[in-house]
Structure 1
Amino acid sequence: MKLLLVLLLSLVTTLTAAAADKPSPNALGKSEEESYEGKVVVIKVGESDLINRQAFKFFRRTLERVNEEKAKAVIFELNTPGGLAHETTDLMMKDMSSLKVPSYAFVNIEASSAGAFIAVATDTIYMAPLSTIGSAAVVSGTGEEIEATMRAKIEGKLKSVVRNVAETKGHNFEVVEAMMIVDKESEFGDVKVGKGELLNLTAAQATTVFEGKPLLAKGIATSVEDLLIQEGMEGAEVVVAAMTGFEKFAYWIGTVGAVLILIGLGAGYLEMKTPGFGVGAIIAIVAFSTFFFGNYVAGNLAGYETAAIFVVGIIFILLDIFLFPGTFVLGLTGVAMVLGSLLFSMVDRFSWQDWGDGDIGLWKAISGPSTALAIGLLGSIVLFALLMRFLPNVGFLNRYLLPAAVEGGTGKLADERGAESRVGWTGVASTDLRPSGKAVFQEKTLDVTAENHFVAAGAPLRIISENGMRIVVKEIDPVA
């Protein structure tokens, strides 16, 4: 119970701070986010951003703020070789298409593959003088060749999405298609694409007039400020969207969720096997508090509800072990609550909403969290086995983490017994064992653990095993 009470207090305190509408002043580096009202918001999309799912969360949250806070315009400054197709098309269809303010793409220096898709999802495209845009064919994330039927299926779906978005924004879809498909020839004035090639436009080519309008980009700009001047927004206040310190911390937590679960469960097991309040409890508290807090700030489903379910689950498990041994109902219910709370705390809020709207399957929403939970559980099982096998033999840990039982009234460590083994000693339980408690053997009071979970006070016992972590006893028939 000692670990439970401290863990409950820690989680409540942590989530109380996390539930505030804004981060607390100066926490993790930034006190309050600058308002976007009436400002031009610049979102920088760098080399590795479109392969980072956490970055897409940031983009979506930023676009929500652009709408809610009534920004003047939003500019995507692109310098990316591409990235994840599914996440990019989601961003295009759901968030960029829902923008209530003018949107611009500033290609500086490269917008290839998924970067090109983001560009055509904006209202207006500008190119830096030496920039390029295009080469947007579907490729495997592993570098392996995609089977022909599967490629056709993926390309067909992707083309329909990009066509809808591009035509809605007034861009020439045939130009974009030439960037995506390699088995056709295309010609746009002086710009020609042979069969087996992908269209990749320079700034000069992208701004070439074709059929009375720019081929793809409206103009060439040397900077964001130059773009604003050309769009008649000279002097507009510009703010660059950036992750808060909390978000950077939370997104890091998202990558180590499985490790935090492993550490928390392992430390909790260690604490349950040692008397008093020790390092195991502190580590477990830090690990699980960090887990819930980080996932909350990252925009996942973590919150008061999941933390409360987690704590209640632990209570049920402890009640099953100490008060109602052998029933298993409370224990199984508690395990289900603990695992469920850990799983759903890692589920992305946007993915959950998309599943609720029927846009993606349930497994797509929970596959990542399920994998992280499985890794954490399997890792903790291995850790439990290692602790049971090696911990009693580690002198440093025995001395500082695993103090032996104290003999009643003497103040001496019961483990100070030389080579003598206590296995086979008989005695009497002086307290109820649920399954831990105290018993007297040869006038010595020892901390013991019952083999069968519960033994009533006064029952005769025999020590059947012992190591540096515990003394295991078994109830025996009384002797007349």
Structure 2
Amino acid sequence: MKPMLFFITFCLTVFSQLVCLADSEADQPEVAEKSQPASEPEKQPAKRLFGKSETISYRDKVVVIKVGKEDLIYEQRYKFIRRSLRKAEEDGAAAVVFDINTPGGLAWETTEFMMQDLAKTKLKTIAYVNPSAVSAGAMICMGCDVIYMAPASAIGAAAVVSSRGEMGDTERAKAESYLIAAVEGVAEAKGHNPELARAMMKVEYIYEEGSIFVDSDELLTLNAQQAVREVDGKPLLAAGIIDSLDEVIATEGLADKEVVDAAPEGMVKIALWISGISGLLIMIGLGAAYLEMKTPGFGIGGAISLFAFGLFFFGNNLAGNLAGYGALTVFVIGIILIIFELFIAPGLIIPGLVGGCMVLGSIFYAMIDDVSLEDFKGRDKDAVMDFSPFESAIFQLSIGVIGSLVILALLMRFLPQMPLFNRMVMDGKLGKGDGTDDRVERSKRIGMVGVASTDLRPAGKAVFDGETLDVTAKEVFVAEGTSVTITAESGMGLEVEISKD
């Protein structure tokens, strides 16, 4: 009965998540109140995972993507920016404006964004430095068609640094060689001077243009006045100094277009955070599921497991990852096979093995985002296979599996002493009797022979010398009435096996 309740509860949890997703409109961008021209029909909204549709189209609108202080630091926020640009192109937006105020972020991800998205997009891309575009922010500006500066603003200082500490000479040279070449190529394709990109990224590079001089121990950073200074009849880098984002849009001849803010709102912010802790949710879900299977008559482990995995699929789906119908179906089938192996036909091995692979495989697939998948598909097939787009999913799954094993070890060690859980296991010490106590000491229990009074799946009850005890069978399943022998007593209770005689 308990496995059936576990499975039913799981299905109800999944169903409730589907209903919540179907009804949620939390990820819709804010739209200015301007009418859509009747002559241009709206593109049909794309169908989202779990059957959810995006009701807002970017067709013929100006899409504003804010790049704030933390947007280039966290991978999930970074992918949201890339996903927003791709949606704008798919829907047929009029233009995309990056409203930038950032101290920098992830260098490799920024380069990937420039090469895979900014360099390939057919949309007009506009960067507004408002007021700071440092490091990765400067690189994004170089990937846009046109750059504008706020009155008091600065752009530059894009040297490669490592969060792991000081980089060695060879490591730095390798990273700089690739990143600088990539940024220079995109900048030149967008009509910007590639020498500016190199001067911003490489310390040893000497740059001089009029009164602007960067020595070999410095990095180039331009203020607004320097960025718009004319050189050979055209601005050095930026097209002009403009007071506000609205004026930028008007200057580009887009004042009559509807403006959409593509920044994540409401539940999407929460979902991005949830997807970032997927490893922790997997760890809790797997650890709690094992606790549920090993403890008779107590459902808190199953409830925690269901909540963790429900939150895992909900967050990853809403964050734009591939946690859709397919991944969820494979996960549920895997759970069914594991239950079949443990409680209906124990000993077959194959259903449990296949079910475990399906569960872990679906969890891994659910954490892959559509942006990384498209990057992977778009790589040169003749090149060496590069699985870097899946590094995040591999890392999160590794944290979850290894962490769940650590939780299991801790539970086995400390569970009997925890106030909330100590009723779930047998106390290893018996109180002192007066000689008439019919219970035996722990050391004398090993080897006792009794009869299973319930089916052991693998947990259940057995009778020894007239006393009913909670036990766990090594054979995973033992039928009621079978003779069993106590072989060990651990923090999780008494362990038994089928008697050989």
* TM-score, L = length of structure 1: 0.85
1:245 offset after TM fit, Å? 2.2
* Alpha-carbon distance between aligned partners in 1 of 2:405 and 2:18, rounded to the nearest angstrom: 32
* Alpha-carbon distance between aligned partners in 1 of 2:260 and 2:244, rounded to the nearest angstrom: 14
1:87 offset after TM fit, Å? 1.0
Query: 8 Å contact 2:27–2:264 — kept in the other structure?
Result: no
1:37 to 59, 72, 83: 59
* Alpha-carbon distance between aligned partners in 2 of 1:185 and 1:330, rounded to the nearest angstrom: 66
Deviations 1:35-75 (A, max 9, x none): 43333222121122212211211111211232233333221
Alignment-derived partner of residue 365 in structure 1 = 389
Alignment-derived partner of residue 472 in structure 1 = 495
Change (3 A) 1:397 1:300: same
Matched, 1:51 2:73: yes
Change (3 A) 1:175 1:443: closer
Higher mean alpha-carbon deviation, 225-234 vs 42-51, is at 225-234
Query: 8 Å contact 1:28–1:246 — kept in the other structure?
Result: no
Counterparts of 1:232-311 in structure 2 under 5 Å?
A: 232-234=253-255, 236-276=257-297, 278-311=299-332
* Alpha-carbon distance between aligned partners in 2 of 1:29 and 1:352, rounded to the nearest angstrom: 24
1:170 offset after TM fit, Å? 1.4
Alignment-derived partner of residue 390 in structure 1 = 414
1:192 offset after TM fit, Å? 2.6
Deviations 1:156-214 (A, max 9, x none): 32233223322222112222222223323322233233333222111111111101111
Alignment-derived partner of residue 127 in structure 1 = 149
Query: 8 Å contact 2:293–2:459 — kept in the other structure?
Result: no
Counterparts of 1:276-425 in structure 2 under 5 Å?
A: 276=297, 278-358=299-379, 361-399=385-423, 420-421=440-441, 423=445, 425=448
1:286 offset after TM fit, Å? 0.4
Matched, 1:209 2:220: no
* Alpha-carbon distance between aligned partners in 1 of 2:395 and 2:308, rounded to the nearest angstrom: 19
1:153 offset after TM fit, Å? 2.9
Q: CA RMSD in A?
A: 3.1
Change (3 A) 1:115 1:361: farther
Alignment-derived partner of residue 473 in structure 2 = 450
The code of the aligned residue for 2:451 comes to V
Identity of aligned residues (%): 48
Deviations 1:223-246 (A, max 9, x none): 112223333334544332220323
* Alpha-carbon distance between aligned partners in 1 of 2:470 and 2:190, rounded to the nearest angstrom: 74
1:387 offset after TM fit, Å? 1.8
2:185 to 128, 153, 164: 164
Alignment-derived partner of residue 203 in structure 2 = 182
* Alpha-carbon distance between aligned partners in 2 of 1:48 and 1:457, rounded to the nearest angstrom: 59
Counterpart of 2:421 in 1: which secondary structure? helix
Change (3 A) 1:237 1:28: closer
Deviations 1:250-303 (A, max 9, x none): 211122112111211222122223334522221111001111111122122222
Query: 8 Å contact 1:247–1:297 — kept in the other structure?
Result: yes
* Alpha-carbon distance between aligned partners in 1 of 2:86 and 2:73, rounded to the nearest angstrom: 21
The code of the aligned residue for 1:24 comes to S
1:221 offset after TM fit, Å? 0.3
Alignment-derived partner of residue 6 in structure 1 = 8
The code of the aligned residue for 2:208 comes to E
Change (3 A) 1:477 1:83: closer
Change (3 A) 1:214 1:386: same
1:462 offset after TM fit, Å? 3.5
Query: 8 Å contact 1:36–1:65 — kept in the other structure?
Result: yes
Counterpart of 1:51 in 2: which secondary structure? coil
Deviations 1:88-145 (A, max 9, x none): 1221222223434322111111112211111121111111111111122222233413
Matched, 1:107 2:109: no
1:26 offset after TM fit, Å? 6.0
Change (3 A) 1:104 1:8: same
Deviations 1:418-475 (A, max 9, x none): 9655835543345554434554445566554333334444433344455785443333
The code of the aligned residue for 2:370 comes to R
Counterpart of 2:222 in 1: which secondary structure? strand
Change (3 A) 1:29 1:381: farther
* Alpha-carbon distance between aligned partners in 2 of 1:432 and 1:164, rounded to the nearest angstrom: 69
Counterpart of 1:299 in 2: which secondary structure? coil
* Alpha-carbon distance between aligned partners in 2 of 1:193 and 1:220, rounded to the nearest angstrom: 23
1:364 offset after TM fit, Å? 1.0
Deviations 1:328-369 (A, max 9, x none): 333322222222222222222211221222269543122222
Alignment-derived partner of residue 24 in structure 1 = 24
Deviations 1:5-43 (A, max 9, x none): 1354045415534764xx525699999765433332221
1:216 offset after TM fit, Å? 0.7
Change (3 A) 1:309 1:436: same
- Unpaired runs of 5+ residues, structure 1, are 405-416
Higher mean alpha-carbon deviation, 269-278 vs 445-454, is at 445-454
Change (3 A) 1:394 1:421: farther
* Alpha-carbon distance between aligned partners in 2 of 1:325 and 1:465, rounded to the nearest angstrom: 22
Matched, 1:90 2:112: yes
Change (3 A) 1:403 1:36: farther
Change (3 A) 1:419 1:393: farther
The code of the aligned residue for 1:435 comes to P
Query: 8 Å contact 1:428–1:459 — kept in the other structure?
Result: yes
* Alpha-carbon distance between aligned partners in 2 of 1:27 and 1:188, rounded to the nearest angstrom: 46
The code of the aligned residue for 2:305 comes to A
* Alpha-carbon distance between aligned partners in 2 of 1:118 and 1:28, rounded to the nearest angstrom: 25
The code of the aligned residue for 1:393 comes to Q
Tell me the matched-pair count: 462
